[in-house]
Amino acid sequence: MKITVIGSGYVGLVSGACLADLGNNVLCLDVDPRKIAILQQGGVPIYEPGLDQVIQRNVAAGRLRFTTDVAESVAHGLIQMIAVGTPSGEDGSADLQYVVAAARAIGRAMTEYKVIADKSTVPVGTADKVRAAIQEELDARGLSHSPAGKGLEFSVVSNPEFLKEGAAIDDFNRPDRIVIGADDERAVKLMRDMYAPFQRNHDRLMVMDIKSAELTKYAANAMLATRISFMNELANLAEKVGADIEHVRKGIGSDQRIGYHFLYAGCGYGGSCFPKDIRALQRTGEDFGLPLKILQAVEDVNHAQKNVLLQKITARFGNDLKGKHFALWGLAFKPGTDDMRDATSRVVMEGLWAKGATVTAHDPVAMKETQHIYGERADLRYAETPLDALPDADALIIVTEWKAFKSPDFDAVKSRLKQPVIFDGRNLFEPSSVQEQGIEYHGIGREI
């Protein structure tokens, strides 16, 4: 099947490469010539484990190509998959300008029936806007669409993605569910054909109305974010009452109705999805006169939780941190990615700098992105290894739960730190084990 993926960012590249891996002929479009040049030269402009191998394999096989030519991309695919960004607007709503621009480009160039699949995370009602934009362009060309079959026909479907950064290839190839929102059988059949390879073991495909499909994506992320903020709020209470949040987590997670997924206390969530999608879903509620009070609380708790490490540091060292130096392990918002969007590390570093402290940071993949964001600063240095970040530091701060941080040589850590103090924002270690090493330990919800 010939498929065009519009947008060669995170979702577009993963989707396009994995669809090509199934034997489809995929053309990925992006209006950023720099990004397409990198891809055409064999590089990958984002970090996602395993993605470079999938791309290189399918480029070599001739199943995956990249272009900036809109006319070529529209002519190529029977299915036109829109996977462009939907950043937050100033009011918190999803900015749909790139989605609508992609739809208009399709309407201006299409010469035969197309299925336009919204892969981008979009609010309820976006399919209607996509359909209207395409129709306006067709009307301007004198190619009106009609149920009677006259003119140039097209279908719009919602096909939300459920990819986790750091595990996106596996998520795409072994999906929990494939959601298709559509209102005509022709489009449903073509989408079923595209996803047929995933249906051999059991039926993963869920067909529903378009608006339900659009809401499903937001609802899924909202539920996961809610679990995180719920546990973080309980962790703060655990510290006050003298309980251990890890014991609480195990106690409630063993209930099959609750489970353990996304039930970890920490220093707040970040990334490109949860913060943006929570705000967009709240805005949708406001537009319909229904404030989503739980989601407002989820966002408020997360905002406060990102400052918990700073509060612990100032409680230990004082509010004036001039002359203090800290080692920071982890910059990305989560392991397996170099994504720094809404990362807790940014809140921590900026808070430390504002109080006069300096930082030496290490992250397995996100240091280049951090340099891109902050440039050269006298109060920020980078270390090639975790241990290299420690000399002369008054404490170690852990923000991202990379596997490489989970079993350190505590003797080496203690010997390198100026003061043997760890602030563990992801509860990687057992407090008693660390304290037995002669290291002062501060976790999240584990102050007993």
Q: Where in the sequence numbering do the catalytic residues fall?
A: 273
Three-state secondary-structure class, residue 46: coil
The dihedrals phi and psi of 57, each to the nearest 5 degrees, come to: -60, -45
How far apart, in whole angstroms, are the C-alpha atoms of residue 427 and residue 292? 31
Q: Which helix H or strand E contains 156, and what residues bound it?
A: strand 154-158
Which DSSP letter does residue 3 get?
Answer: E
Q: Which two tokens stand for residue 341?
A: 């969007």
Please report which helix (H) or strand (E) contains residue 181, including its range.
strand 178-181
Edge-to-edge strand list for the sheet holding 25-29: 64-67, 25-29, 2-6, 79-82, 114-118, 154-158, 178-181, 205-208
Collapsed DSSP state (helix, strand, coil) of residue 125:
coil
Cα diameter, the chain = 79
- DSSP labels for 320-339? --TT-EEEEE--SSSTT---
In Å, what is the CA distance from 111 to each residue of 118, 186, 422? Answer: 20, 18, 62
